[in-house]
Amino acid sequence: MTMIDVDRHFAERRERHLAELMDFLRIPSISALSAHREDVRRAAAWLAERLRRAGLEHVEVEETGGHPVVTADWLHAPGAPTVLIYGHYDVQPVDPESLWTTPPFEPQIRDGRLYARGASDDKGQTFMHVLAVEAWLQETGRLPVNVKFLVEGEEEVGSRNLDAFVARHRERLAADVVVVSDTPMLAPGRPAVCYGLRGIASMEVRVQGPASDLHSGLFGGSVLNPIQALVGLLASLHAPDGRVAVPGFYDDVRPLTPEEREAFARLPFDEEEYRRRLGVPELFGEPGYTTLERVWARPTLEFNGISGGFQGEGGKTIVPSWASAKISCRLVPDQDPQRILDALERHLRERAPRAVQFTVERGQGSPASVVPLDHPAVRAAARVLEETYGRPADFIRMGGSIPVVPTFRERLGAPVVLLGFGLPDENFHAPNEFFTLENFDLGVRALARYWAALAQSMAGRSD
Amino acid sequence: MTMIDVDRHFAERRERHLAELMDFLRIPSISALSAHREDVRRAAAWLAERLRRAGLEHVEVEETGGHPVVTADWLHAPGAPTVLIYGHYDVQPVDPESLWTTPPFEPQIRDGRLYARGASDDKGQTFMHVLAVEAWLQETGRLPVNVKFLVEGEEEVGSRNLDAFVARHRERLAADVVVVSDTPMLAPGRPAVCYGLRGIASMEVRVQGPASDLHSGLFGGSVLNPIQALVGLLASLHAPDGRVAVPGFYDDVRPLTPEEREAFARLPFDEEEYRRRLGVPELFGEPGYTTLERVWARPTLEFNGISGGFQGEGGKTIVPSWASAKISCRLVPDQDPQRILDALERHLRERAPRAVQFTVERGQGSPASVVPLDHPAVRAAARVLEETYGRPADFIRMGGSIPVVPTFRERLGAPVVLLGFGLPDENFHAPNEFFTLENFDLGVRALARYWAALAQSMAGRSD
């Protein structure tokens, strides 16, 4: 097996690589907002061009019915395993933009951190894969494994067209292992392989009262206030102790094993430091579970947003016409997203007062997943992480969701290795998102080393 | 007593008067929004200039610490009663502006209605008083009564500086009767004298959770969601049957007399037409009371707005940093605004979870008022309304609040006659506010006639 000097390769090119990443980050590819439709396409085109320059073949921007996917491959390692690298080039919305220290789409490096929307989630990590593959092709003209890229533009809106795309191109996307870099490590300097993700199920509810806002003096008292109806409905979804009060919500939850709870308890985790970092008076969650258990392995029902009536400065004495709320549940194995949404909708409809109109719009749904810890691709990942970071990798779970992970397992039958280089405080989905450059530097090295380690570890398995 | 031909006077000048009112309405004098501070001043200056042209004396724009008041007088009717005419030249905010058929500050006449923010509440009605006084001065060079104008720019934000202004200028503002045109009639063609107003007490509550929005996957389950905390608090404020659940809220409420309930029941009121007009599936309110009783004479606790987290298109999977709500109570005699806010704040603080920070900001407070039905100024008003509209005036109450009415009664000891020409469907405080031109035409005539009738009715009382 040819090896390359990854330290020298990346050290020599660091400035240019960071400048390129900043170009990528300047494109406001917010998939949730239709006003940014063309920006999303620009980001896809930028990535495709960069893949071409890296030496990838069959680079294409492909239509999906929504935002496009970018695909590419390099398939000249007969007998070696085939890897599907998945990432996403779309980003979350940025509001409230006023809370950003520097504008979200004007990347800036401060204190060893690269600040920009998408820096960590997931343009930065996706770009690292491009660089790791390019390193091999530049240094040796070839790769130790066969590589396929699949980078989508709809991860932040639930990957709504990717399932169909993967199903349609099953053979073209066939791989021995899928590698995804979109998860955080537990703490700086502690590399991690993530083996579990939560799923997600979301909906928006709306209460419509009077046809237009009413003067609260002239009409107040004669109609049900839509905010009053909405808060009554939403308040019925949790018990005061924090448990979800929707009947059936916990029915299918796979309990944590005693071994897993012990392993979680051994990981370094400082509750007080975590509380301080989040800036809350107290931590709060489901009784009977630790904080790591609550965020990694227990389901939640969260309100992502609520809206109704007058929200400006000062007052406006109205009975508002409507009120709405966005709800999403994080799911754990073996909860089914549709069954959870059914239970939630039933609970709400049974309680909706007749004096208002109540409507539900269902959003994305994707189950949780856990990946096998003993797969050679996982063991190879742990090995290169230890080699690069100088300490053993943590085996962790994550509370977030990557909707396409269950799709890969179902459609391609391939295990998914979650090899992420984010840190938990990097403000994904929040103002002032950043990426820690130490992990950019160590991450590209680990990924470049991984292709050789993977070829070795899976030798004899991939034919 | 000299009489003037009001029909001829106003018929000859109708076009010019409407054009002038439209100029007044074009000024976006939104008192709640600091961005419109200069517009509010422009409206004050416009009004002052128009009062001068009408022949009023001592016209001034006076500072109050907030938005200015416009004052003027004509005091050359020795022995005749003195009237203080109160109105306001500020208007409500206009959002959501997208729901306006024509822009709120581009007045347009359609189907006998003048559409614009403030057309009915209260620039239109204030301007009618200018025209009525001008009619006497143009036709006869004098007025049958002494007149003082006090037009403020903060009615829509709780008249927060007017109480101190009235206290400071008690002697200058001294009057035998205060006349206010800022209330609606019950239905088209039915003139009304309003003898009761509800009071108001308002507050804004805010729940602060994590220092910034958090990724609901990575952190969801470990902190109390601020929207969850807020909806729990807000939902505790009402019983499911619609009654306010705050202890002590109803303690001081003066009950309706059987005679008043019978008089209300005799007024024409079509519940089904009212329901259809508001566009709600069902009317809803405090059990045991009719709709008119609920809006005229029973207290309410309304949510005017709620806000938190992501409110844009699509989804954003966050635990929001904060959530807030605007609350206002409409009060009836003998509820005290401060006692009501105390009870509300106590109720909320006792229930606020420790895992979030809970803050309250108190807003305006003003008690309810009822005015005596047998005062000669009220009887004279009923007489000219009947003469002008050709049918007897209704004696009605109103669910809205005019914060300065209790101030006039306390500070000046003068009864307040509420002689309003609005209609209940004119969308005050809502998109597409309009003023019905029939009531503009009949209203100016009735007001001009009122000064002669008032002088006659109060002869011998005012020295």
pLDDT score of A2: 63
For residues B281 and B296, give the distance between their C-alpha atoms in angstroms, rounded to a whole number: 22
For residues A6 and A448, give the distance between their C-alpha atoms in angstroms, rounded to a whole number: 7
Asked if pLDDT for residue B461 goes beyond 80, the answer is no
Cβ of A195 under 8 Å from any chain B Cβ? no
pLDDT score of A104: 98
Q: Which of B278, B305, B306 sits opposite A219 (nearest CB)?
A: B278
Q: What are phi and psi of A26, to 5 degrees?
A: -70, -15
Q: How confident is the model at residue B2 (pLDDT cuts 50, 70, 90)?
A: low
Top residue of B91, B286, B306, B401 to mutate, by most chain A CBs within 10 Å, is: B306
Q: Which residues of A touch B202 (CB under 8 A)?
A: 315, 317
Q: Which of A238, A285, A355 sits opposite B281 (nearest CB)?
A: A355
Which residue positions in chain A have pLDDT lower than 50?
Answer: 1, 462-463
- State the amino acid at position A410 in one-letter form: E
Q: Nearest residue of A to residue B432 by CA position? A: A212
pLDDT score of A462: 42
Check CB contact under 8 Å for B231 and A228.
Answer: no
Asked if pLDDT for residue B100 goes beyond 90, the answer is yes
Asked if pLDDT for residue B394 goes beyond 80, the answer is yes
Query: Which of A91, A279, A280, A310 has its CA nearest to residue A212?
Result: A310
Q: What is the mean pLDDT of residues B14-43?
A: 97
Q: Which residues of B touch A184 (CB under 8 A)?
A: 218
pLDDT score of B154: 96
For residues B4 and B234, give the distance between their C-alpha atoms in angstroms, rounded to a whole number: 57
Q: Nearest residue of A to residue B284 by CA position? A: A223
Identify the H or E element spanning B91.
none
For residues A255 and A263, give the distance between their C-alpha atoms in angstroms, rounded to a whole number: 15
The residue among B74 and B95 whose pLDDT is bigger is B74
User: What is the residue whose two structure tokens read 């951190």?
Assistant: A113
User: B137 burial class (0-12, 13-18, 19+ CB within 10 angstroms)?
Assistant: middle
Top residue of B303, B341, B364 to mutate, by most chain A CBs within 10 Å, is: B303
User: A15 burial class (0-12, 13-18, 19+ CB within 10 angstroms)?
Assistant: exposed
What whole-number percentage of chain B has pLDDT above 70? 99
Asked if pLDDT for residue B463 goes beyond 50, the answer is no
Q: What domains sit in chain A, N to C, each tagged with a CATH number?
A: 6-197+368-457 (3.40.630.10), 199-253+299-366 (3.30.70.360)
DSSP B117-153: TTTTTTHHHHHHHHHHHHHHHHHHSS-SSEEEEEEES
DSSP B220-258: TTSS--HHHHHHHHHHTTB-TTS-B-STTTTTTPPPPPH
ipTM of the complex: 0.80
* Pairing verdict, β A113-115 and A434-436: antiparallel
* Pairing verdict, β B177-180 and B416-418: parallel
Q: How confident is the model at residue B403 (pLDDT cuts 50, 70, 90)?
A: confident
Q: Nearest residue of A to residue B400 by CA position? A: A217
Tell me the count of A-B CB pairs closer than 8 A: 349
Q: How confident is the model at residue B68 (pLDDT cuts 50, 70, 90)?
A: very high
Top residue of A249, A291, A302 to mutate, by most chain B CBs within 10 Å, is: A302
Is the Cα torsion angle B221, B224, B225, B231 positive or negative in sign? positive
CB B140 within 8 A of CB B44: no
A residues 313-332 lying closer than 8 A (beta carbon) to B: 313-320, 323, 325-326, 328, 330
Q: What are phi and psi of B267, to 5 degrees?
A: -70, 150
Q: How confident is the model at residue B459 (pLDDT cuts 50, 70, 90)?
A: confident
Q: What is the dihedral of CA A254, A291, A157, A125, to 10 degrees?
A: -110
Cβ of A398 under 8 Å from any chain B Cβ? yes
Check CB contact under 8 Å for B227 and A99.
Answer: no
Beta bridge partners of A318: A215
Query: Which of A401, A292, A302 has its CA nearest to residue B224?
Result: A302
pLDDT score of B4: 86
For residues A57 and A59, give the distance between their C-alpha atoms in angstroms, rounded to a whole number: 5
Q: In angstroms, what is the C-alpha Rg of chain A?
A: 23
Q: How confident is the model at residue B462 (pLDDT cuts 50, 70, 90)?
A: very low
* Beta strands per DSSP E along B391-462: 394-398, 416-418, 434-436
Report residue A444 as tokens: 């590209």
pLDDT in tens, A2-54: 678 999 999 999 999 999 999 999 999 999 999 999 999 999 999 999 999 99
DSSP 3-state of B178: strand
pLDDT in tens, B187-235: 899 999 998 899 999 999 999 999 999 999 989 999 999 999 999 999 9
Check CB contact under 8 Å for A317 and B202.
Answer: yes
Q: What is the mean pLDDT of residues B153-160?
A: 90
DSSP 3-state of B307: strand
Q: What is the mean pLDDT of residues B349-357?
A: 98
Identify the H or E element spanning B89.
none
Q: Nearest residue of B to residue A213 by CA position? A: B430
Cβ of B364 under 8 Å from any chain A Cβ? yes
A residues 27-56 lying closer than 8 A (beta carbon) to B: 32-34
CB A55 within 8 A of CB A134: yes
Asked if pLDDT for residue B372 goes beyond 90, the answer is no
Minimal CA separation from B4 to chain A, in Å: 36
Minimal CA separation from A121 to chain B, in Å: 11
Is the Cα torsion angle A444, A447, A378, A414 positive or negative in sign? positive
